[in-house]
Structure 1
C-alpha cells in the first residue's frame, strides 16, 4: 500500500455540556506514532471496506445528502467509520439497543455490547485533507455528535484500545492549551463559533490543503478564510 496516498477517513467530535461549560472528547496519540505523534486529537481513522455494510441507524436526510457530495464512500460507510473509531479508541458507544448476529470483522466487539450503531443527532461538521509531505495523508470528514446520544457512561473508557492515551473531556475554553495539530485548532475555532451561535450555516468548511494559501472553502460555496 502506498502510504503517501490520500486515504478517506472519519473523525468523531463528541460535544458534552458540563456544569462549567462545553467540552469535547480528546486523547493523546503515542509519541512514536507515524501520524501526528504526541498530539491531542479527536477519535478518528481510516474508513474500512466493511464499514459500508454496517447497519447504521437514524441517519438524518440532510446528513445523507451532504456526505454524498464529492465522496466515493456512502454516508453509511463514513458514519460507521466515525462510530467505530470512537468505540475502538475510547470504548464509548454511539448506538441504540439491538441485536446484530452477523457483525463484520472490526465490529464484533461493538455488536457484543447489544447495540447497533446509531447516527442519531450526528451532523457533517468539517472536512480536511492532510497536507502533502506528511507520512500519512487523509481526506477526513469530521462528524459532530452530542454526548447525550451515547448509550454508555461518558466517563468510562475501560473498553478503549491503546491507540489514544490521556482520554479526557477538554473544556473548549482550555482546548488550545494542549499540543494540537493545526487542523484541530481550526476545527475547534469552528466548533467554538457553533457553540456561541456565530457560525455561518452556508455549508460545511473544507480545508483542501491544495494551495499555498491553505484556503478554507465551504462545500458548494465560496472561500471563507
Structure 2
C-alpha cells in the first residue's frame, strides 16, 4: 500500500498533448496515417501511433490561418491549462514534424518561431478549421511520462501536401504508412490507441465533430463530456 502510494507521488507532472488522426478516403476505403516510435523512445517505445506530442509553450502564440470550428473550440475551452488554439497548433505542428504533411492555408509568416520555420517556408499558416475534437485520454499513473491528450480527426483530402510524400518528416516516427482499420489492429499498438480506433470506426465515415466526446480517465473508466453541446 505504502509502496504504491510512493510511486504515485513520484509520478511526473501531466502535460497537455495533442494527437491527430488523419483519415484517407473516409467514405469508401478508410485508411489512417500511422508510424512507429523508436525502440529507445522514453514513451511508448516501438509502438505504432498517430502523429502527436506535447504542447510547447510557443504553441500558445501561434497565429492560426483559420480558427477551430464549433463546437470543438467550446469543448476544448473547459477546465484546461492549454488553450484550444494551443492544442490545435500542437496537433498541426506534430503532424508536420513527424510526417511532413501540412494542414494549412496560404499565408506569409515571416516571424514564425523556430519550430515552425520549415512549415512557414512552405507559404502556409496552420489551418485549425480542418480539425475535429473527438477523444480525450490521460496517461495512467506509474508511467515515465504522463499526458492529458486530446485527439483530433481530419480528412486527408484537406491536406495541402501529397499524402504519400513523407520526405519532410523528421525521424521521430518510422514506417509511416496509410493503414486500414484491420491492418491497424494487427500492429503493435498502445492500449489507448486500440480504444481510439474503436471510436474512430464508430464515427466514420464522418470526420466532423461527434455528438459527444469520450474521456478515458486514469482509472480506465469512461466518462462522456460536453454531450449536450450541439454539433451544428
Structure 2 equivalent of residue 84 of structure 1: 93
> Runs of 5+ in structure 2 lacking a partner?
1-9
Q: Distance in 2 between matches of 1:201 and 1:113?
A: 32
Structure 2 equivalent of residue 186 of structure 1: 195
Deviations along 1:72-128, one digit per CA (max 9) or x if unpaired, are 111110000000000000000110111001101211111011101001231101000
1:40 aligns with 2:30: no
- For the structure 1 residues 40 and 10, does the alpha-carbon distance in structure 2 shift closer, same or farther, using more than 3 Å as the test? same
Normalised to the residue count of structure 2, the TM-score between the two structures is 0.88
Could you say what secondary structure the match of 1:21 adopts?
Answer: coil
Structure 2 equivalent of residue 156 of structure 1: 165
Could you say what secondary structure the match of 1:120 adopts?
Answer: helix
Structure 2 counterparts to residues 96-111 of structure 1, below 5 A: 96-111=105-120
Could you say what secondary structure the match of 2:118 adopts?
Answer: helix
- For the structure 1 residues 130 and 45, does the alpha-carbon distance in structure 2 shift closer, same or farther, using more than 3 Å as the test? same
Paired residues of 1:202 and 1:218 also in contact (CA < 8 A) = no
Range moving further from structure 2, 105-114 or 160-169: 105-114
Range moving further from structure 2, 52-61 or 174-183: 52-61
How big is the shift at 1:18? Answer: 7.3
Q: Distance in 1 between matches of 2:141 and 2:174?
A: 27
Q: Distance in 1 between matches of 2:195 and 2:129?
A: 25
Structure 2 counterparts to residues 89-128 of structure 1, below 5 A: 89-128=98-137
How big is the shift at 1:20? Answer: 6.8
Paired residues of 1:126 and 1:206 also in contact (CA < 8 A) = yes
Paired positions, count? 216
Could you say what secondary structure the match of 2:79 adopts?
Answer: coil
**Match 1:10 to one of 18, 33, 40:** 18
Paired residues of 2:55 and 2:90 also in contact (CA < 8 A) = yes
Structure 1 equivalent of residue 225 of structure 2: 219
CA RMSD of aligned residues (A): 2.0
Structure 2 equivalent of residue 174 of structure 1: 183
> Runs of 5+ in structure 1 lacking a partner?
none
Structure 2 equivalent of residue 29 of structure 1: 37
Structure 2 equivalent of residue 195 of structure 1: 204
- For the structure 1 residues 144 and 196, does the alpha-carbon distance in structure 2 shift closer, same or farther, using more than 3 Å as the test? closer
Moved over 3 A (4+): none
**Match 1:53 to one of 36, 61, 70:** 61
